[in-house]
Each structure stands twice: as C-alpha cells, then as structure tokens.
Amino acid sequence: MNADNLTICLRCGSDACYTTEVNDKITNYSCFGCGFQSNSLMKQGEEFLSEQLESLPELYKDLLFEDENGQGWLPQTINLPEQGMIFANGGNSEDWKWAAVRAVEVKDEEKTKYPIPDKKDEFYKHRMDMTTMEMFEERDFIDALSYIGVLPE
C-alpha cells in the first residue's frame, strides 16, 4: 500500500483506511481496521446506495453505518477463489463476527461437482472449505485477512 492512500476511517477511527480515487467524483474507501467499505456515492437518497441495499443480506443492512458526512459504510465481503473468503456472519448487528474460510484445491475426482457456469466442460480448481471457518471479532478484520493468506501471519 502506498502511504499516500491511507487515511483515518470515518467509521472506526483507524489509520488503516485505504482510499482510491476512481475519478474526480468517486473515491472508494476500504478500512483494514474495521473491515467496512464505502465510496462517495453511498449516501442516503443516492440510487447507488439503494441498489446496494436491495441485494444485501439483512445483517449487512443492519450494520450500515452513516458517518458524519452522511456517507454509508458496509461490511466488506472478500472472495478470492484461490485463497478464501471473508464475510460478516451473525444473527444481527449486536451479535456478529467476521467469518474467514480458506480455499482448497478441488480433487480431480470431485471436479464435476464444481462446474463453472456458462462454460461447458470447465470446472473450478478451488472451492471454499467451510470446515476451515474461523470467527474473528470486528476489530480483527486484518487477522481474518492473514488467516486466508492475503497478509502474512
């Protein structure tokens, strides 16, 4: 990460919020402190936020946080087919944690169970192994990233 792209997270106050300017109107925010993300289009009344909320699970909607600028922050979902995935998991906004699951290689004898949609005779080489699921507290998002191999442990 380039230090010039790190800012203070307006959700949790961490100094590990990575910002990416897409263009002069859109900036993306991804906090490695709390694991939440936002962008400059995620404000109440904006079509972009409404569209996001339509497709999200109830837990993510419950966890929506509005910062001092009226910008919404939602939990990130990380899905790296060869490494693993991280997602918010729990019953409600008072009882949740980060779930991290490692990817494993698909054995040759199992490959037909994992077809790639719309690709004839092609199969995934990795799958998520739910038996490897580990739970991490909200402020331990970076540990979840390490668990699936994105960052060194």
In a domain, 153, yes or no: no
CA distances from residue 143 to 23, 34, 37, 78, 121 in whole angstroms, order as listed: 31, 11, 17, 13, 37
User: Same domain, yes or no, for 69 and 8?
Assistant: yes
Q: Is the pTM of this model over 0.95?
A: no
Structural domain boundaries enclosing 39: 3-75
- Phi and psi at 60, nearest 5°, equal -65, -40
3-state class (DSSP) for residue 16: coil
Tokens of 14: 């961490």
Note the pLDDT of residue 46. Answer: 87
In a domain, 152, yes or no: no
Mean pLDDT of the chain: 92
User: Same domain, yes or no, for 127 and 102?
Assistant: yes
How many domains does the structure of the chain reveal? 2
- Whether the pLDDT of residue 90 is over 60: the answer is yes
In a domain, 129, yes or no: yes
CA distances from residue 86 to 50, 54, 60, 75, 117 in whole angstroms, order as listed: 23, 21, 13, 10, 22
- Whether the pLDDT of residue 121 is over 80: the answer is yes
Q: What is the pLDDT of residues 30-86, one digit of tens each?
A: 999 999 999 999 998 888 888 888 999 999 999 999 999 999 999 999 999 999 999
In a domain, 108, yes or no: yes
- Whether the pLDDT of residue 3 is over 50: the answer is no
User: Same domain, yes or no, for 50 and 83?
Assistant: no
Tokens of 2: 């380039």
**Residue at which a domain ends, from 75, 95, 130:** 75
